[in-house]
């Protein structure tokens, strides 16, 4: 006694093959859509990366331009400080400028150094001294001022 005949077996097999083909076609379509979505996302990410890189380059250029202006202004201010130090009765002993900092060494009496420091504090808002060093030599005061360039 046979449960299924050959014709029924062939029909069931044909139905299973058709179902498998439909399932595969559906998965291929779904995978193709997912692949297209990934491609679109990759293109979008690449565009965002290019925009961010362009913005970074513009900011870097602007910062370099501002740094050059700051360096020029800092050197002008150092020249003003030398001139102002002379008007306060301070004598310039040494001026040293490098790519990172400006050092000014003055000599004068206590009142001159005190008035000059007061002037720096009240009148020169853009200058932030990194180091102020005072040393006594006889009746004179040695005054060392270090200004670091902005980064």
Query: Which of 98 and 50 is assigned the larger pLDDT?
Result: 50
Q: What is the pLDDT of residue 99?
A: 67
Average pLDDT, the chain: 80
Q: Which of 106, 107, 105, 97 is nearest to 74 (CA)?
A: 97
pLDDT above 70 covers a percentage of the chain that reads 85
Token duo for residue 118: 């007061």
**Domain coordinates in residue numbering, the chain:** 71-148
Query: Which ranges of the chain would DSSP assign to H, the alpha helix?
Result: 6-87, 110-123
**Which one is the CATH code of 71-148: 3.40.710, 3.30.1360, 3.40.1440, 1.10.357?**
3.30.1360
Q: What is the pLDDT of residue 19?
A: 93
12-63 confidence digits (pLDDT tens): 999 999 999 989 888 888 888 888 999 999 888 888 888 888 888 888 777 6
Q: What is the pLDDT of residue 67?
A: 57
Cα distance between residue 19 and residue 16, in whole Å: 5
Residue listed under structure tokens 């602007």: 62
DSSP bridge pairs for 136: 141
């Amino acid at each position: 006694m046979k449960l299924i005949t050959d014709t029924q077996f062939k029909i069931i097999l044909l139905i299973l093959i058709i179902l498998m083909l439909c399932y595969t076609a559906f998965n291929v379509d779904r995978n193709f859509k997912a692949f297209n979505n990934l491609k679109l996302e990759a293109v979008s990410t690449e565009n965002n990366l290019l925009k961010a890189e362009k913005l970074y380059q513009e900011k870097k250029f602007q910062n370099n331009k501002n740094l050059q202006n700051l360096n020029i202004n800092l050197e002008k201010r150092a020249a003003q400080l030398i001139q102002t130090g002379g008007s306060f009765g301070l004598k310039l002993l040494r001026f040293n400028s490098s790519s990172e900092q400006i050092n000014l060494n003055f000599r004068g009496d206590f009142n001159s150094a005190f008035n000059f420091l007061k002037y720096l504090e009240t009148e020169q808002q853009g200058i932030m001294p990194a180091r102020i060093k005072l040393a006594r030599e006889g009746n004179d005061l040695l005054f060392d001022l270090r200004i670091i360039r902005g980064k």
